[in-house]
Amino acid sequence: MEKTFIVGTASLALAWSFIALTPDQGSAQDAGEQALKRCNYIRMIVPYTAGGGGDVGARLLAPFMTEDLGVSVQIENQPGAGSQIGITALAKAKPNGCTIGWTHLPAAIAIYLDPSRQAAFNRQSLAPIAMYVVDPGGIAVKGDSPYNSLGDLVKAAKEKPGAITVSDSGVLSDGHLLLLELQRQTGAQFAIVHSGGGAEGTADLLGGHVDAQAINLGGPNASMVASGQMKLLAAFTKDPQPDYPGVQTAEQQGFNIYSSTSRALSAPAGTPQPIIDRLSQSVEKAVELPAFKSKAAAAALNVTYMNSQETGAYWDNTEKTFGPLIADVVAKNK
């Protein structure tokens, strides 16, 4: 089956090269646009539950891409296994531009670097389209929690090892790696609970099923902190975040840890470059629109656009950075 896929994508790429280079087909950009218009709609896979930061950001972007491309971009949530289910569906889709999806880094990298996950995809299975958001991390508690600082939470976890429950977005997600590093630096021991995404983890937090949650600062979390439903103990950023007034960074509290998730839009490997470039251009055009900027600011999204080549380089560098840590975690869990 894998051989058939490779042969098929190679044939498609070869055919596309001929089309793109044929003078009467116009520019490569026009060729990409023409190919996308053959899609009944463009399926945008979100590998997490609806309502989380990644889902909110995707739903904000999709209408702007629809308007620009002239083809409906429709969200399809495929959560599970820390985004592995959704990314697997993306990697196995036809490489014709009609299926794109979100690959959050370093979570996607952690999946295919962990042999126990038996991932059906790797770095070569996916073609980066664009970086969209680099979303900083934080640790939050319920609004009425007795913990008011990161130090309070760490102290409680050290006094009662394994008794303080903290959720993340999945095994070896950015939140999981954050919690592992916090344990390593402090000697605290949390009971880490892997959820299916930010929305599911938040439901567990607000429902009193966990004591704390490793979150991303974009999406609905800023409004929940502002309303008092949640309390942010620390932002794992270099500087305080304007959407969270009065909240200190982890560094300001004596913890030199920084964390974020990078939301890259990707396509199946073998997707012709003109299609990749047109999709990337669509993201770039969207994030520059005043209407989009207004909505992104209201959603506290840290929009950070990179084109396909820049995103690919960023991905490779992230893998080099986190690879040893992931390998160490995998070895310890054998």
CA 120 to each of CA 112, 114, 125, 262: distance values in angstroms, whole numbers, following the listed order: 8, 12, 9, 22
DSSP state of 328: H
Distance, CA of 138 to CA of 304 (rounded, Å): 18
pTM of structure:
0.78
Delineate the domains of the chain, giving CATH numbers in brackets.
2-135+261-332 (3.40.190.150), 139-260 (3.40.190.10)
Distance, CA of 175 to CA of 169 (rounded, Å): 6
DSSP state of 173: S
Please state whether beta strands 260-268 and 99-105 pair in parallel, antiparallel, or not at all (unpaired).
antiparallel
Is the CB of residue 115 less than 8 Å from the CB of residue 272? no
Quick one: how far is CA 217 from the chain centroid? 12
Distance, CA of 146 to CA of 129 (rounded, Å): 44
CA 58 to each of CA 44, 100, 101: distance values in angstroms, whole numbers, following the listed order: 8, 11, 9
Helical packing angle, 273-287 and 290-298, nearest 10°:
70
Per-residue pLDDT of the chain (334 residues; tens, 9 = 90+): 332 222 222 333 333 333 343 444 447 668 899 999 999 999 999 999 998 888 999 999 999 999 999 999 999 999 998 899 999 999 999 999 999 999 999 999 999 999 999 999 999 999 999 999 999 999 999 999 999 999 999 999 999 999 999 999 888 888 998 999 899 899 999 999 998 788 889 999 999 999 999 999 988 899 999 999 999 999 999 999 999 999 999 999 999 999 999 999 999 999 999 999 999 999 999 999 999 999 999 888 999 999 999 999 999 999 988 888 888 888 877 7
Quick one: how far is CA 256 from the chain centroid? 23
Q: ∠ at Cα 281 (276, 286), nearest 5°? A: 130
CA 88 to each of CA 21, 80, 103, 119, 195: distance values in angstroms, whole numbers, following the listed order: 32, 11, 10, 8, 18
> Tokens 């058939």 appear where?
4
